Amino acid sequence: MAQIIKIGNSQGIRIPKPIVELASLAGKELDFVVLGDGLLITAVKKPRASWQMDNELMELEIAWKW
């Protein structure tokens, strides 16, 4: 069971270590989505660096064709 705790002037969520390990959340940036009266917590999904490079190369190829 997670707990809401006071952290300075804010509040935080204390998530038990077994849940963090099961969800592979350790050391990751998290994304929060409010769903009705609940909260969905997921790791932020970042595109692979190679995909960014591929997109940049495609943009260069397009620029050369024109």
- Residue range(s) defining the domain that contains residue 12: 3-65
Secondary structure element (H or E) that encloses residue 65, with its range = helix 49-65
pLDDT at 2: 77
pLDDT digits (tens, 9 = 90+) for 10-62: 999 888 999 899 988 899 899 889 999 988 888 887 766 555 666 665 555 54
**pLDDT above 70 (res 63):** no
Which one is predicted more confidently, 2 or 66? 2
What sign has the CA pseudo-torsion 19, 24, 26, 29?
negative
Cα 24 from Cα 57, distance rounded (Å): 32
Q: What is the CATH classification number for the domain harbouring 53?
A: 2.10.260.10
Q: What is the number of domains present in the chain?
A: 1
